[in-house]
């Protein structure tokens, strides 16, 4: 955030800080020596679950302790593959979304992915704490509120509620929703600030440079476009000079580099690790953690003229969110409720804040580091970057209202390789969900239940385990379940969906090969064989409902209901229930009805009116025409 130092005194500040007594008062601990900055540095808004890392600081040293051996890809206490509830929770977070504007599809994508990961972990029997929330301080919020003619607090209330409403409509099952305007969060931020200050890592100085209001950060001149425009928001940066407090990020340059080299799983996907390491090796600059010109924020302890920088404030929300209602708002209480997080799930535009700033801040405060930061890619529309100025925004609320939550969740998790950029087009969206959810899965269930109703009074003739003895289809399903689990564990969500789809494809092929409708017509032993074949296919559908439930929970509940189960039974399923053999003889199925209706593709006719065109035909195979993800 800051510029190159023009006065050598700054270079001594953090060296001297090692001998600063932690018992010094807040005022005495802050260096009031002023240093002029000229901005030249840009911090772009730009298993798994590595080893548990804790950092401790003293007056003369800073060191890392790791509770698992190097090379481990999963902490033993939170291994998703353990299949049992662990004493230590699996804590997953989305960013705290900035409320300068209503939620957009990028925010929805992150949250849907986090929800799928959290649901998978719950299926494994792990205790899960899924955190999301809203970041509600800063200059942009005050500006947006003024533009609407309301107070910042009123504006935050409206937009924060819009996020909650969208998460409800998308079926997001979060455990904690933190708002940075919550009094408990303010108390935690001030305590965290004080710990960093007591460690000698906060000092006072002047800064001057080109500032992007939308990014809430200073930009390096060489990184800007023509007319000093921000490369992300395409708006001119403004020249600013302020007297602020700074965090000594450069002091932790070596420690961050060493941590990443010893814990390469900390940043995922792996290609983003290279980006983070390049930032560190090119040299880190201290950044401003307060603002004198912004009133809408948390006051700096012992300096009512300054408010804490929005990122220094918001990142601490991952800790304050862990507090339970009625608990004393202090760091120790919050940390004891689940820190460190297992996974910070973010967009790649805020990778620097989470993979560089945040770990250094935690080191300074003497707290453990998160186990992983995963930066996913951007979404484009019809191959183009989305933006209001381009008139091609993708509104998640509109998508959910038109197509339903299952379709939205499935398309973005299946069709976007998690970690890479991905593209949305409406025709592809409709073709994909029709082919996969309505045809491959929905139609298979519906026609099988229809045959069962017609020939067996909707009642299973035999246990599914007995029906499939020696059956290669059963073996194929079990192999694909294992495959899906591995993909979920490694956050390969698209591949996990593909494995489930393969079960559906195999089920349709098996159904066509066995042709139970013909066997029923033959009667006698052939009819008994046909009844067994229906049980086998329906058992595969039961397994699909479990394995796909992290991605499309509402659809999978409807499948379970069709198989004669209640919602309470669905809510208590675990991954172990995906083992073959759940359906029993005598079990009565529900009356068949479609669990996912085909989406009709609306297009304009030649006169500008709207006509209705049916979506892709059942015989179309969307996988054969899969377009590449935009990168």
pLDDT at 37: 35
Are 400 and 162 contacting, i.e. CB atoms less than 8 angstroms apart? Answer: no
- Given a cut of 70, the residues of the chain with pLDDT beneath it are 1-87, 216, 222, 232-233, 387-391, 602-631
Rounded to 5 degrees, φ, ψ at 65 are -125, 135
User: Smallest Cα–Cα separation from 94: which of 125, 121, 126, 129?
Assistant: 129
Count of helix runs (H) and strand runs (E) in the chain: 24, 23
Q: How far apart are the first and last CA of the chain?
A: 28
pLDDT at 388: 54
pLDDT at 240: 77
Q: What is the DSSP letter of 235?
A: S
Quote the pTM value.
0.83
pLDDT at 208: 75
Other CB atoms within 10 Å distance of the CB of residue 284: 22
Distance from C-alpha of 132 to C-alpha of 120, rounded to nearest angstrom: 17
Q: Domains in the chain, start-ordered, CATH in brackets?
A: 47-203+246-376 (3.40.50.620), 417-578 (1.10.730.10)
């Amino acid at each position: 955030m800051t510029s190159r130092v023009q006065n050598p005194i700054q270079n001594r500040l953090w060296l001297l800080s090692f001998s600063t007594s932690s018992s010094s008062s807040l005022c005495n601990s802050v260096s009031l020596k002023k240093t002029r900055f000229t901005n030249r540095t840009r911090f772009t808004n730009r298993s798994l679950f590595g080893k548990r890392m804790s950092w401790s600081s003293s007056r003369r040293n800073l060191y890392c302790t790791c509770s698992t051996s190097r090379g481990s890809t999963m902490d033993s206490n939170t291994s998703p593959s353990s299949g049992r509830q662990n004493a230590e929770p699996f804590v997953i977070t989305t960013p705290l979304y900035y409320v300068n504007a209503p939620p957009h599809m990028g925010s929805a994508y992150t949250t849907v992915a986090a929800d799928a990961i959290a649901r998978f972990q719950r299926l494994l029997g792990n205790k899960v704490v899924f955190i999301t929330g809203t970041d509600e301080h800063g200059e942009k919020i005050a500006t947006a509120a003024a533009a609407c003619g309301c107070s910042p607090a009123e504006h935050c209330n409206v937009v924060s509620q819009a996020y909650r409403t969208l998460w409800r409509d998308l079926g997001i099952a979060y455990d904690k929703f933190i708002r940075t305007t919550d009094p408990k969060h303010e108390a935690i931020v001030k305590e965290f600030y004080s710990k960093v200050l007591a460690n000698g890592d906060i000092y006072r100085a002047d800064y001057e440079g080109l500032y992007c209001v939308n990014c809430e950060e200073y930009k390096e001149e060489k990184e800007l476009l023509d007319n000093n425009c921000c490369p992300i928001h395409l708006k001119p940066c403004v020249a600013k000079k302020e007297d602020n407090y700074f965090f000594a990020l450069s002091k932790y340059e070596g420690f961050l580099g060493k941590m990443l080299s010893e814990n390469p799983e900390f940043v995922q996907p792996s290609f983003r690790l290279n980006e983070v390491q390049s930032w560190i090796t090119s040299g880190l600059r201290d950044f401003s953690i307060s603002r004198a010109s912004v009133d809408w924020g948390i006051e700096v302890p012992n300096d009512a003229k300054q408010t804490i920088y929005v990122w220094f404030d918001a990142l601490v929300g991952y800790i304050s969110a862990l507090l339970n209602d009625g608990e004393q708002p202090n760091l120790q209480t919050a940390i004891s409720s689940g820190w460190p997080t297992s996974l910070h799930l973010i967009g790649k535009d805020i990778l620097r804040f989470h993979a560089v700033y945040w770990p250094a801040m935690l080191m300074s405060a003497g707290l453990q580091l998160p186990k992983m930061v995963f930066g996913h890619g951007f979404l484009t529309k019809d191959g183009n970057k989305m933006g209001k100025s381009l008139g091609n925004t993708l509104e998640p609320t509109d998508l959910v209202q038109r197509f339903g939550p299952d379709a939205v969740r499935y398309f973005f998790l299946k069709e976007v390789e998690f970690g890479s950029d991905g593209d949305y087009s409406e025709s592809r969206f409709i073709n994909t969900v029709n082919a996969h959810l309505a045809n491959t899965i929905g139609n298979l269930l519906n026609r099988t239940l229809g045959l069962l109703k017609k020939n067996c009074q909707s009642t299973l003739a035999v246990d599914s385990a007995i029906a499939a003895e020696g059956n290669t289809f059963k073996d194929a399903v079990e192999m694909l379940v294992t495959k899906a689990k591995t993909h979920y564990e490694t956050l390969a969500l698209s591949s996990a969906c593909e494995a489930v789809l393969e079960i559906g494809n195999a089920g349709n092929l098996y159904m066509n090969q066995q042709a139970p409708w013909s066997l029923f017509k033959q009667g006698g032993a052939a009819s008994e064989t046909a009844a067994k074949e229906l049980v086998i296919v329906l058992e595969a559908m039961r397994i699909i409902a479990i394995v796909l439930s992290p991605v499309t929970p509402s659809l999978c509940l409807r499948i379970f209901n069709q198989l004669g189960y209640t919602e309470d039974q669905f809510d208590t399923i675990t991954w172990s229930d995906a083992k073959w053999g759940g359906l029993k003889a005598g079990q009565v199925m529900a009356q068949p009805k479609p669990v996912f209706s085909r989406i009709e593709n609306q297009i304009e006719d030649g006169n500008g009116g709207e006509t209705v065109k049916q979506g892709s035909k059942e015989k179309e195979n969307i996988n054969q025409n899969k377009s590449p993800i935009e990168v």
